[in-house]
Amino acid sequence: MKNLPLFDLAVIAAYLVAMVLVGVYFSRKNKNTDQFTKASGQIPGWALGMSIYATFLSSNTFLGVPGKAFGGNWNSFVFSLSMPLAAYMASRFFVPFYRQTGEISAYTHLEHRFGPWARTYAVACFLLTQLARMGSIFLGIAISLQALTGYSMQMIMVVMGVCIIIYTVMGGMEAVIWTEVVQAVIKTFGALLILYLIVNSMPGGVSKIVDIGVAHDKFSLGSYAPDFTQSSFWVVLLYGFFINLNNFGMDQNYIQRYHTTSSAKEASKSLWLCVWLYVPASLMFFVIGSCLFAYYQVHPEFIEAIKQKVAMDRLPATASAAEVSRLMATLQPADYGDKVMPHFMVTKVPAGLMGLIISAILSAAMSTISSGMNASATVFTEDIYKRYINADISDKKLLRLLHLTTVVVGLLGLGTGLAMIGVKSILDTWWTLSGIFAAGMLGLFLLGLISRRTNSHEALTATCIGVLVIVWMTFSSNLPDQFSYLRNPLHSNMIIVVGTLTIFLVGLLVTKSKGRSSEQIRKEVIVSNE
């Protein structure tokens, strides 16, 4: 890291070595699959709550949220406001349900309820969601560290990916959780430090920040009109509720952790601890974004360097200076919001503190990626390998398979991150991808949980229709102008809302219509017999 003083390098190195040592320490206990996947159910509720909070507070939050607030307003904060309702539903219904089943996989129930196709479909959606999540997080950390170190994003992703893979494979779920407890503290303190440095660097302090924010409508939560074609308050609220319900109720990252505590009560407490930590923490990142906007309004001369970096990233290496200048002239704050905080850190954070802040950004990425790797490996072994290849595999061989799968998933997530280089907004990209993949899972699960009369055929029909709706909503914007009337008029965040409701409601209607048909046939038979 050629731009950093020796002390900062030492802080970063100490953090990375500590994370690897945690993996080494827990590797001594990591001798069976039960320990690797659920830490033998010995994790205290408070530690699990901080672990879930750390997973939520990823580099997408650390970099993407300030970027969104810089380029727009606080509209995306409505996502966090939806968390308490989703947490209530999860703690009331989902946590007790999963604890009673005793199944480590969140998707085994779907096979019991609808057959193998339902389990396989949910597993595919989950794995694709994880790749999208890990890829966007790898990208977030690379954007930040490239600005701070001068190294290429590709090199940064590869080096960090290797470090994460090592401690996740060695330590299993227990290492994941306890490293996340440490990472939760580091990343929260790092965010507070960044906020202090911005306010301290701002001429006029807090009052000036508020004045600029009010003048540019930076504190708005979005339009309250019932408009679902743009990112209004209600669109983000609905999106947040459905995504968080999917997270708490269907995402293997969280379902697997419900089994790491001693009781369902402890698991529910951990869920609420996550919510009460994350909501104010996410608000802090929106405040950081608004403070950065005010700072760069006062110092517009710094914006040109940021625009130039964004333009050069988007254009091929052979682009001329004139082409770079033309693209720079078209860039809006939303186009370069993700680059602003790294630039501030390079130019304003004093030597000695940079290492701590970089460690906080690293921890934001590592916590989510490591848990995603462990959960994905568990799903692959339980729902694919043991289901379709070898159900009688020994525990020793299964543990080796878990290790190998963890490595493969980590490499695939790294590859996804490399493929995402150049996207406009980390947060927008992640929200779009997660909405596409999560919609089908949640709708199918709710159908199975609520409608006990729905069988496999009705669920399959509903899922097929739901998938077609999701595909249409996702890709219809690419239709040529002569077919513009066939384009999806709703905002992309509505994909998970409409997709989930389509599967659920179509399933209910098909079940009800089939019930009526059966009843009509029964009556006709009775009449004919008479």
Confidence tier at 130 by pLDDT (50, 70, 90): confident
pLDDT at 3: 62
- The larger pLDDT score, comparing residue 366 to residue 439, is at 366
pLDDT at 308: 83
The angle, 0 to 180 degrees and rounded to 10, between the axes of the packed helices 205-215 and 153-201 is 110
Query: Which residue blocks in 331-394 are alpha helix, DSSP H?
Result: 333-348, 354-379
Confidence tier at 1 by pLDDT (50, 70, 90): very low
pLDDT at 158: 86
pLDDT at 315: 79
According to the per-residue pLDDT averaged within each range, which of 40-44, 195-199, 394-398, 517-521 is highest? 195-199
Question: Are the C-beta atoms of 360 and 62 separated by less than 8 Å?
Answer: yes
140 pLDDT above the threshold of 80:
no
What does pLDDT average to over the chain?
83
- The larger pLDDT score, comparing residue 41 to residue 444, is at 444
pLDDT over 90 percentage in the chain: 18
The angle, 0 to 180 degrees and rounded to 10, between the axes of the packed helices 45-56 and 354-379 is 100
pLDDT at 199: 92
pTM over 0.75: yes
Confidence tier at 527 by pLDDT (50, 70, 90): very low
Residue 457 Cα distances to 118, 227, 395, angstroms? 11, 35, 36
Quickly count: other Cβ atoms within 10 Å of residue 103's Cβ: 14
93 pLDDT above the threshold of 80:
yes
Question: Average pLDDT for residues 142-152, to the nearest whole number?
Answer: 73
> Hey, what CATH topology would domain 6-19+41-303+332-425 get?
Sodium/glucose cotransporter (1.20.1730)
Nearest to 46 by CA among 256, 269, 364: 269
pLDDT at 171: 74
Least confident range of 201-205, 427-431, 453-457, 463-467:
427-431
Question: Are the C-beta atoms of 288 and 296 separated by less than 8 Å?
Answer: no
Question: Average pLDDT for residues 503-523, to the nearest whole number?
Answer: 75
pLDDT tens per residue, range 162-213: 888 887 887 777 778 888 888 888 888 888 988 999 999 888 889 999 999 9
pLDDT over 70 percentage in the chain: 91
- The larger pLDDT score, comparing residue 299 to residue 150, is at 299
Confidence tier at 338 by pLDDT (50, 70, 90): confident
Confidence tier at 281 by pLDDT (50, 70, 90): very high
Residue given tokens 């308490």 in the structure block: 84
According to the per-residue pLDDT averaged within each range, which of 31-45, 221-235, 334-348 is highest? 221-235
DSSP sequence for 113-138 = HH-HHHHHHHHHHHHHHHHHHHHHHH
pLDDT tens per residue, range 353-408: 888 888 877 777 777 788 888 888 888 998 888 888 888 888 888 888 988 998 99
Segment holding 228, helix H or strand E: none
